[in-house]
Each structure stands twice: as structure tokens, then as C-alpha cells.
Amino acid sequence: DGILRVPVDAELPLEEAPSALARNRAGGARGKTVIALRG
């Protein structure tokens, strides 16, 4: 099929990146964490 589906656990603003990283390191994420860069 050629389609890759990536599970996204959360999409967060850049300001929440430190807490998102801590959550990932602690094993709390069940998918990828997307950091939204909006300008």
C-alpha cells in the first residue's frame, strides 16, 4: 500500500516543549508528540 501512518499522541505549542519532553522521557506518550511552530 505504501502508506505510513504515524500515531500522534499530542500536538502542543512551542511553549510546552519542555513538559512534552519530560512526558516522553517518563514513558507517558503513546505516540509521537508534535511541537507546533506558529508564527
**Contact (CB, 8 A) for 38 and 15:** no
Q: For residues 34 and 10, give the distance between their C-alpha atoms in angstroms, rounded to a whole number.
A: 6
Q: How many domains does the chain have?
A: 1
Locate cell 499530542: which residue? 10
Looking at residue 39, its pLDDT comes to 59
Read off the amino acid at residue 21.
Answer: L
3-36 confidence digits (pLDDT tens):
999 999 999 999 999 999 998 889 877 889 999 9
Question: Length of the chain, please?
Answer: 39
Provide the residue range defining the domain that includes 25: 1-39
